[in-house]
Amino acid sequence: MLQEYRNRPRDEAAEKIEGYLAQHNLKPGDKLPSERDMSEMWGINRMTLRGAIQGMIFEGKLYNRKGSGTFVAYPKLNRNLQDLKPFSAAVKEEGKTLQTILLSREVIESNKQLSKQLCIKLGHPVLVITRKRIVDDEPVMIETTHMDYDRFPKLMEHDLEKESLYHVIENVYGTLITEGTEKLSVTFATESEAGLLEIEEGIPLFNLSGVVKDADGIPIEYFKSVARVDKIRFSSVLTR
């Protein structure tokens, strides 16, 4: 006997939300009713509804603005994992606007991890730059860059809210960026990350880390970034 297929409660809740979006012809940026209202509207447990909303946020269909509610998502910014172009160039190609906020810039002593990634001695001075990226007025990413301070000391002076880091590296220092490695995983927003990205704590985020090298294979930058899953899509080209 064939068993009747039944959707999980969370899937049913997601279908209700999808139906509501279509019925009311909601567009990107439009706000959904509150969780309480939707829960009462469809007789769905709020925890189940919240799980459905989180799933749709991860899929890029909705986004949450801390303290304001849930909204229909805009098309995601597409980033090719095999592309070394600056983030600013990728945003411009998508026809979007970019704002960069410099969160911190300091020189620290290299620890074991940084020494390994940058191929420098333990205790060597490392320049650490942390920036928040805002696309179309929405915060989407927090980037932390680690570089050999002795190699790029003038980066302490440049306005990295207006200048592209890669542009300075290539045009001021004459260092050509030619290759790199990158790892992509999923993490969950800490309290500080949630505040900076204007999302709820614990929301899934993309976690990126990697090393960028010059033409001689010498590391230029070790980076660690977190990005909103509802705002950015990462892709790759497969070849054989």
| 196 has pLDDT over 90 | yes
As a whole number, mean pLDDT of residues 24-53 equals: 90
As a whole number, mean pLDDT of residues 192-202 equals: 92
Do residues 84 and 17 both lie within one domain? no
| 84 has pLDDT over 80 | no
pTM for the model stands at: 0.74
The per-residue pLDDT for 240 is 61
Do residues 35 and 128 both lie within one domain? no
Do residues 123 and 215 both lie within one domain? yes
As a whole number, mean pLDDT of residues 123-128 equals: 98
Name which residue leads in pLDDT, 173 or 59: 173
The residue range of the domain holding 131 is 77-235
Do residues 91 and 125 both lie within one domain? yes
What long-range pairs does 63-68 form, CB within 8 A, spacing at least 24?
Answer: 63/138, 63/228, 63/230, 63/231, 64/199, 64/200, 64/203, 64/230, 65/198, 65/199, 66/194, 66/195, 66/198, 66/199, 66/200, 68/31
Do residues 90 and 17 both lie within one domain? no
Name which residue leads in pLDDT, 207 or 74: 207
The per-residue pLDDT for 1 is 42
Position 7 confidence tier, pLDDT thresholds 50, 70, 90: low
| 226 has pLDDT over 50 | yes
